[in-house]
């Protein structure tokens, strides 16, 4: 059974990018969110949240809330 994290990671792989790169773009304020389509043409929206760490979050339009995909600590 695939999780949201697995699906979102597959979307990033499909676009030949990494969670670290997407998180750095969002964290630096270059873009407020990033929308990528998966191999089935479903749109995934990626955003970041900052608490004690930086979280890459993702969801589709059918999901009610963003789910954590990746966590990082930047110094």
pLDDT tens digit sequence for 18-48: 999 999 999 998 889 999 999 999 999 999 9
Structure tokens at 48: 């970041």
Residue 1 has pLDDT above 60, yes or no: no
Distance of CA 47 to the CA centre of its chain: 6
For the chain, the average pLDDT equals: 92
Give the span between the Cα atoms of 8 and 22, in whole angstroms.
12
Give the span between the Cα atoms of 47 and 10, in whole angstroms.
16
> What 3-state class would DSSP assign to 21?
helix
What pLDDT sits at residue 2? Answer: 66
- Residues 6+ positions from 28 with CB-CB distance below 8 Å: none
pTM, two decimal places: 0.90
Q: What are phi and psi of 25, to 5 degrees?
A: -65, -45
- The radius of gyration computed from the CA coordinates of the chain, to the nearest angstrom, equals 12
């Amino acid at each position: 059974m695939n999780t949201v994290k697995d699906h979102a990671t597959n979307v990033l792989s499909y676009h030949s990018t990494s969670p670290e790169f997407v998180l750095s773009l969002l964290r630096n304020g270059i873009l407020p969110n990033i929308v990528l389509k998966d191999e089935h043409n479903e749109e995934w929206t990626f955003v970041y949240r900052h608490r004690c760490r930086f979280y890459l979050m993702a969801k589709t339009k059918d999901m009610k809330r963003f789910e954590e995909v990746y966590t990082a600590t930047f110094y």
